[in-house]
Each structure stands twice: as C-alpha cells, then as structure tokens.
Amino acid sequence: MSSNLFKKYSVSLDKSHYEILIGRDIIAEAGRFLAGKTDDKRVLIVVDEFLKDTALNLLLQELTKEGFKVYIHTFEAGKQNKNINEAMKIYEVLESNDFARDSAIIAIGGGVIGDLVGFVASTYLRGINLIHIPTTLTAMIDSSIGGKVAINFRKTVNAIGNYYHPLLNIIDFQFIETLPDRELKGGLAEIIKCSIICDRALFDYLSTHSTDILNCEESSLVTICSRAIEIKLDYVVGDVKEQNKRLKLNYGHTLGHAIETSTGIFEEVYRHGQGVSLGMVGAALIARDYMNYNDDILHTHEEIMEKYGLPVRVESGKFGFERAKLLKECLRNIWKDKKRKGNKLRFILPVEVGRCEIYNDVPDKFIERAFEYLITE
C-alpha cells in the first residue's frame, strides 16, 4: 500500500466490484492503480478546463509510463453544459478512436464532470470502464459514490440518467486545499447531512472541530470524509435504485432543489450544498410543526449551518428577487422532485439528530410554511 494512501474501500454493488482509494498525491499513481484492471490500453481523460494544467499533467505522465494510449477531451464545467450536446462530443471521440467496452474513460473534476462522463460511460456500447477522480469535496464524498449518473434536459436537472458504477474511484486530498470557500462549505453541508440522518457522533465531531475542518486540517478531513463515505455506502448497498433506505440520503434535497431551481439553476445563485443547507433547515421546521416538536431541532440545525458559514435563509432582495414571486416559483418547482410518489411528495424529516424517517403524507400547509420561513425580503 502506498504511504500516501490513507484508506481503501472494496465496494460490491449489484454485479459491480470496485475500489475507492483515499489519500494525498495519489493521482500520480493512477496508472499503477489502473494497470491490470483493464485489458485495453486506450484511455480517454475528460477533464475540467480549469484543471488541465495541473491534474492532467500528473495523470498523463503516469498513464503513459504504464503503457496506456491516452486521449484528452477538455470540458468547461458548469450545470448549463451537462447536456446531450456535450455528451455527443465525448461519444464522437470514443467512436472515432475505436474505443471498446474494455477501454476506459476517466472523469477529472467535480460533480458535473462525473455525472456527464458517467452517463456517457454507461451508454456508450452499453457500458465501458469508468474511473472517477473527483476534485471537489461534494464529488468526493457524495456524487462519485453510489452510481447515479445523469445529464440535464432543458431546465430539469438530472432528467436523463442511469445507475452505473466505476471501475475505480481515486480521491486525492490535494484538491481540497485549493477549493474555493463556497465549494468547500458546500461539500461540508453534505457531510452535516450524513451526520443528521444517522450519526450523532459525527455531528458532535463536526460541532467541536469546525475550526480545524474549515482550515482543512488533514486528520480532521480524513475522519469526516471517511465516515461520510461509509454512511453513503451503507445506505446504497442493497438499495442502489433508491426504493427504500437510500431515500434518506436525500435529506434536505426536496426543498433545497426547489430553491436552487427557482433562484436560477444554471446561474447558481445557490450551489448544491448551499441549497441542501437551506433544505435541511426547512425540513427541521416541518418536523417541528408537523410532529409538534419544540424549537430545539430547528435551532440545532441553524447553529451547525451558521458555524460552517452555510445559509439558513434566502435573502430574496439581495439577489434581486421579489419574495412573493420566489415563493410561488418554489412551490411550483418542488413538484418536479424526482422522488415524489404519484401526487405526493416524499420528505425525509429528522426525528432527532442522528435519526431521520421517510414521510409520504406531509400536508401542503407545512411545505408552504417552510418556504415562508426560509425566504425573507
């Protein structure tokens, strides 16, 4: 095992078996990790335009040394580009260079790159080898794990998708240190989510180690990221297609996605993590009112979000929105939620910190009240 390799997980999902590797500077060993896992030596690297001068050079040298024939396709990441037109460009590279099912495609970037490339890998020749090298915290602990791949259609996010698992997932902590503040905090929102749905000990650790975590202290990052990945895997195993327990991983997403969409999904007034933060606060409010809890559950949510610099309210005027119109848009867009069951929305609500349950019968008045609480003038 490499001295830079902190953790290694062997994952079995459906009929897929793959490894998740966590470490520092391990992208430089990607060729060695990949050697022997695929017979064909053709590899296409799809890389975020902003990473081509850093991560790409390291990876290219190592793959070439291991005898791989490498092709490169750069991509300007952004939700507006996660579409069928960009997928077609990647298909063209694969087809024109005679890629086979045992060839490989590597995604280097955040969630947009991983989703798009994963979708292409799942559909080209009905499936070719996929390797994830996620470079954002959200992608590392969430979107690169569990097999969800998709592209957007018009203004509907992830409207066309699939479930497809990688051959290998390489998580290199060197990328965390260079993340913009907003990206780092967005990923931390997903880790907070994991703690609230099932792990009080992780929540307590996040509460007492916020300074170290926000300063990217390595041992703290290893602790929280490893635990978040373990939680994600635990919920995905046995429920890959999200019919039962995996639904709990969507805590905060029902309200959060509606806010993201209504404020401009492609403009990203709120990034995904910020949307999830707002959605969790809204879900805590619904839990308080619907189940007659006291204010503790709501206050606990707001305190942890504020500790990590995450939003707990939508300041409509600050971003040029009229509050009444934004409320109306949120109430309309929430019905686009992919997890709804017939004409009923499914909500994940906290019973306490460390335990959430699925509810299919939340009355509309509580949903309306949540948006009214979250959206201010």
Which residue numbers are catalytic? 126, 148, 190, 232, 242, 246, 250, 253, 257, 272
Amino acid at position 81, single letter: N
Q: Are 297 and 288 in contact (CB under 8 A)?
A: yes
For residue 273, give the 3-state DSSP assignment.
helix
Distance CA 41, CA 283 (A): 48
**DSSP secondary structure letter of residue 173:** G
How far CA 311 is from CA of 256, 272, 286, 301, 340, in Å, comes to: 11, 12, 18, 11, 25
Scan for tokens 């959060």, then name that residue.
Answer: 256
Distance CA 336, CA 343 (A): 11
**DSSP secondary structure letter of residue 272:** H
Q: Partners of 357 in the beta sheet?
A: 349
Q: Are 22 and 5 in contact (CB under 8 A)?
A: yes
Distance CA 165, CA 171 (A): 15
Q: Are 66 and 32 in contact (CB under 8 A)?
A: yes
Strands across the sheet containing 129-134: 5-13, 16-23, 168-172, 129-134, 104-109, 42-48, 69-75
Distance CA 53, CA 161 (A): 30
Tell me which residue of 72, 104, 101 sits closest to 89, measured CA to CA.
72
CB atoms under 10 Å from CB of 179, counted, come to 18
Q: Are 136 and 110 in contact (CB under 8 A)?
A: yes
Contacts of 61 (CB under 8 A, 6+ apart): 28
Is the four-CA dihedral 282, 287, 289, 294 of positive or negative sign? negative
Beta strands at 156-163 and 148-153: parallel, antiparallel or unpaired: antiparallel
Contacts of 168 (CB under 8 A, 6+ apart): 18, 19, 21, 33, 34, 37, 131, 132
